[in-house]
Structure 1
Amino acid sequence: MSLVLSVCGGRPISQVSFRVGGPVRSTMQDAGLQIRGLLEHGSRVFATSTIVTATAEGHSTATFAKAGRNAARLAHALRALGVAEGDRVATFMWNNQQHVEAYFAVPAMGAVIHPLNIRLFPQQVVHIANHAEDQVVIVDDSLLPAFLPMLSGLSSVRCVIVNGSADLSAVRAQGVEAYSYDMLLRGQPDSYPWPDVDERSAAAMCYTSGTTGDPKGVVYSHRSIYLHSIAATLPDAIALSRRDLALAVVPQFHVLAWSLPYAAFLTGASLAMPDRFLAPEPLAAFIAAVRPTKGLGVPTVWGNLLRFVEAHPEIDISSMKEIGSGGAATPESMTRAYAERHGITLMQGWGMTETSPLGTFARPLAGAGAEGASAHRAGQGRFCAGVEARLIDPHDEVLPWDDISVGELQVRGPWVTGSYYGEDAGTQADRFSDGWLRTGDVGRISPDGWLTLTDRMKDVIKSGGEWISSVELENHLAGHPAVVEACVIGVPDDRWGERPLACVVLAGDPVDASELKGFLGDRIARWQLPERWVFLPAIAMTTTGKYDKRALREQYAQEALKVVMA
């Protein structure tokens, strides 16, 4: 019996012949995704968009067109200094106009921009710069005193460029060339023949914070930065446009300021750069003066700003409509305070140095209502297009997206790293699995792709065979009106293996451990309640604005914390 298809004219299918040929290729032009494209687009199409930088006298302003011309001048100057394709040019700088210029000039000329973390211990900075083989370092004059003691240990650095007015003789005394940024650019051509570099070649590199060992290097390509910048600007993410003035509180050394400078040149959104003026008072004054519409930063900065403006209601931050928060969990109480008392939508996201960093963003769903929006704000948000995710249980089985099953989060995508710089496969096998990045985060995913993290693998508290989420305890504690900060760690316990220790900073009101334990009792299971409490004047932070839990564990082990039992 023959199968006859009418579409084939009624002939038996065995009698139908088909044209056999190779795969069909597209007719699209093969144009690369390069940083030079973002630079040329932003400085021409959005020539009048601006970079506003905080200064001791107020603020300075430069257009994207001017920044583009300066980027060309910087590229000429670096080329004259011998910087070639693939060479690493480091920065030791605050967020400012000149740092943005370097962000574009260095990769667009074919070299690699490497922002150094100015808040790391000196020995870590030296290790990172030597590991990356940085050849040139651009340093802000206000940071030169901190940088100079490290210079003798930088084995590959041969030239230092100082942004601002500073005595260069101290640099030259160590046998290193030294130049003034302004003088170096003076007289250079304001256009540059940007090379057509391979979009997969290195454009930038950043190092992890090193909270669990030596910092690890991640090298971003032109292509990954370009695609990440597009994803960051989409309506369900940061939603940038030329109508925005975006406040970059997140440091430029922290995962390329979450690609904000590149996203700004892509969309025409102006940039507000606070430089070194990050304390609550000058930051609030900067916001009141330049009127940004959006901001990006870590939760501790937004918490400090909130407390300051509520103590000084005369400071007007009403221009801010949205805040993006990341790097650590954002307390729901802070999100609610910004929304209810200031009309500002605070949204958190999830990401890592290894993910460029954007992986998810928690923009409230349309029509979710107040209760639904609040529930979603408590999570890390929906995965961005391009980021694939899966949850893995302790037996390496893939878990369902049912908003119930909890496992380790693994991701992959075009802006997710597949390895660490300068490390062989054997030393990093524990972080990569079959092409997936093992994030070390623990959480659950809803059927529609909304991520809720419950802890880090290294921070989850294993008590009597059950897991207790330190993040959940911290968020609940932060909801108490007397609590300014709360950090929870697991400590050894003879009976249960591990139990939670709650470290709390109070606003000044006389609140004891029993009251806080009672406050938690209405929100979590009884067996999860901490028995051990510590009240501190402040909680140590890592360089990326996260609680330094490793330091707290060490202090507990050394009996350096005054523990109260409740």
Structure 2
Amino acid sequence: MHGLMMQQPLLVASLLTHAERHHGEQEIVSRRVEGDIHRYRYRDLAQRARRLANALAGLGIGEGERVGTLAWNGYRHMELYFAVSGSGAVLHTLNPRLHVDQLAYIIDHADDRVIFFDLTFLPLIESVAPRIRSPKVFVAMTDRANMPATPDLPGMLMCYEDLIDGHGDDFTWPLLDENTASSLCYTSGTTGNPKGVLYSHRSTILHTYAAALPDSLNCSARDVILPVVPMFHVNAWGLPYIACMVGAKLVFPGPALDGKSLYELIEAEQVTLSAGVPTVWQGLLRHVAERGSTFTAMRRTIVGGAPCPTAMTTEFQERYHVDVLHAWGMTELSPVGTVCSFKGHHLSLPTQQRYAIQAKQGRAVFGIDMRIVGPDGEALPWDGRAAGDLQVRGPWVTTGYFGCDEASPLSDGWFPTGDVAKIDADGFMQITDRSKDVIKSGGEWISSIDIENVASLHPEVASAVCIAARHPKWDERPLLLIVKQPGSALESAELLDFFDGRVAKWWKPDAVVFIEALPLGATGKVLKNQLRDRFKDYYLMA
């Protein structure tokens, strides 16, 4: 017997309709590329998104066709999020930090019909345009007064505000099948070409529900959310959708992501929650410390994209009373997989034990199932000791890659993440390595992430990376690559002594190399492969 319930498809546009109806007065604040601050409300967002949907139809964009964006976090990008997906087309967020050849490859592979871009990226558009197959419509996300002198583009250049002004807001969001594609995001591709992950309306809405939950990102109508994590990569971790669902005030930072700009915006708008990668928070914390300032409203920050060093967690929580939520996810997971929220019995633990838990990536949000498996595919115990290949499954986990002829990556219905992890009895997962980064010394495994975490605790270390370097006796040994804090006179012997009593003796790196800066990829992740290529024979040459 069927339940007597209405069947309503889960659609991205319904988030916007809800926000307009129930939170129409709520503010969206954006720092624009032009440098000024723009303010409007959810009702304005909804009205302009409908006009933009009419404009897309006027450009001949049909259901399932891809629309590219090269844009910062701002209100116009938010309008595209809903106008493109809501009208049945596919929002393809392009990562401007990728190499121009990779960008051209992705635009061709996705067959983007139109590309919307922020003015910052005009030089990028000019270098990409001649490399892509078919002429496109390029839309500069600005008004007539700020339009660039017509660059020589193969295709047509249009003005965003003119485009919107040319259409009315009488538009009814189509009732799509909820399994229709809504957006597309390519992995940052440290090896080989980037691969596209195609999200559906259903997967996006379910991900939004789960990520907003109290033990996930814990968002509500009382929050003021500033996503530093870019809208051009993995949906800004779902925050633009979550804000509509719960009716939170949104603050968009635009292109200015330095510590000073972020701090001023956080204070001016009384931001309560922010989200970003550790490298961004380093700049923010440095600025606040130098000024001797404090946060008046911000009470939590979500840190993901890379492991959050315990020293950073400590500084946020003890000095500024800002709780750190460690999260883990992947492009292939829409992206949220786990969030490190305490269980009740953790609250009474001694401080250091709580920090040890916060260093973990956390427990699965509802909808994500995970397991760790050994070399022969058998599931390993959740005892906090056994480490294995992390696999996940769930309604917002990909089954394969867009336009890809390769066999499905799934193994027995599970997606292999490429991470090596441990899971404890409480279900808290901790990544110990990427499967390609593990260090095997004399037949025993060493966790590069554990080594990095210890090095990061030293007050004179700004950034730490541990790689496997080939060794004449032990096959591989850990090599520590360090960026020092400005003005530090730290020497390798002192740093290596710092490891005594913190890791097993044989885990201690054999050497430290001080470098000026770490090579960062398009999403702010450290490109370990470049460092491996450069230093993998360090011990053989010593």
Residue of 244, 254, 276 corresponding to 1:265: 244
RMSD (Å) for aligned C-alpha atoms: 1.6
1:404-423 residue pairs with structure 2 within 5 A?
Answer: 404-423=385-404
Residues 126 and 153 of structure 2 are in contact (CA less than 8 Å); yes or no, is this contact kept in structure 1? Answer: no
**TM-superposition CA deviations, 1:205-247 (whole Å, max 9, x none):** 0000101221110000000000000111100011111100101
1:39 is matched by which residue type in structure 2?
A: L
Q: What count of residue pairs does the alignment treat as equivalent?
A: 534
Q: Which moved more, 1:484-493 or 1:417-426?
A: 417-426
**TM-superposition CA deviations, 1:441-485 (whole Å, max 9, x none):** 111112221111111101111111111111000011000011111
Secondary structure (helix, strand or coil) at the match of 2:344 reads: coil
Residues 471 and 540 of structure 2 are in contact (CA less than 8 Å); yes or no, is this contact kept in structure 1? Answer: no
CA distance in 2, matches of 1:40, 1:470: 47
CA distance in 2, matches of 1:153, 1:537: 34
Hey, what does 2:79 align to over in structure 1? 101
1:155-234 residue pairs with structure 2 within 5 A?
Answer: 155-164=133-142, 165-167=146-148, 169-170=150-151, 173-234=152-213
CA distance in 2, matches of 1:83, 1:482: 54
After TM superposition, give the deviation of residue 127 of structure 1 in Å.
0.5
1:159 is matched by which residue type in structure 2?
A: V
Q: Is 1:526 matched with 2:505? A: yes
Residue of 443, 451, 466 corresponding to 1:465: 443
CA distance in 2, matches of 1:120, 1:563: 33
After TM superposition, give the deviation of residue 269 of structure 1 in Å.
0.8
Residues 135 and 154 of structure 2 are in contact (CA less than 8 Å); yes or no, is this contact kept in structure 1? Answer: no
Residues 263 and 284 of structure 2 are in contact (CA less than 8 Å); yes or no, is this contact kept in structure 1? Answer: yes
1:244-283 residue pairs with structure 2 within 5 A?
Answer: 244-283=223-262
CA distance in 2, matches of 1:451, 1:97: 35
Hey, what does 2:514 align to over in structure 1? 535
CA distance in 2, matches of 1:44, 1:202: 25
Residues 443 and 451 of structure 1 are in contact (CA less than 8 Å); yes or no, is this contact kept in structure 2? Answer: yes
Name the CA shift for 1:425/1:537 in 2 (closer, same or farther; >3 Å): closer
1:481 is matched by which residue type in structure 2?
A: P
CA distance in 2, matches of 1:432, 1:208: 17
Q: Is 1:291 matched with 2:291? A: no
Hey, what does 1:440 align to over in structure 2? 418
1:49 is matched by which residue type in structure 2?
A: Q
Name the CA shift for 1:558/1:169 in 2 (closer, same or farther; >3 Å): farther
Hey, what does 2:366 align to over in structure 1? 385
Q: Is 1:152 matched with 2:130? A: yes
Hey, what does 2:292 align to over in structure 1? 313
Residues 455 and 461 of structure 2 are in contact (CA less than 8 Å); yes or no, is this contact kept in structure 1? Answer: yes
Hey, what does 1:142 align to over in structure 2? 120
Residue of 326, 341, 351 corresponding to 1:348: 326
Residues 136 and 157 of structure 1 are in contact (CA less than 8 Å); yes or no, is this contact kept in structure 2? Answer: no
Secondary structure (helix, strand or coil) at the match of 1:440 reads: strand
1:211 is matched by which residue type in structure 2?
A: T
TM norm structure 2 = 0.96
2:121 is matched by which residue type in structure 1?
A: L
Name the CA shift for 1:361/1:564 in 2 (closer, same or farther; >3 Å): farther
After TM superposition, give the deviation of residue 490 of structure 1 in Å.
0.7
After TM superposition, give the deviation of residue 57 of structure 1 in Å.
4.6
Largest Rg, 1 or 2 = 1
Identical-residue share of aligned pairs (%): 40
Hey, what does 2:15 align to over in structure 1? 38
Residue of 476, 487, 497 corresponding to 1:498: 476
Residues 363 and 381 of structure 1 are in contact (CA less than 8 Å); yes or no, is this contact kept in structure 2? Answer: yes
Q: Which moved more, 1:378-387 or 1:156-165?
A: 156-165
Hey, what does 1:14 align to over in structure 2? none
CA distance in 1, matches of 2:154, 2:517: 42
1:193 is matched by which residue type in structure 2?
A: T
CA distance in 1, matches of 2:510, 2:450: 16
Structure 1 moving runs of 4+ over 3 Å:
55-58, 562-565
Q: Which runs of 5+ in 1 are unaligned?
A: 1-23
Name the CA shift for 1:157/1:462 in 2 (closer, same or farther; >3 Å): farther
After TM superposition, give the deviation of residue 169 of structure 1 in Å.
1.8
Residue of 476, 479, 484 corresponding to 2:462: 484
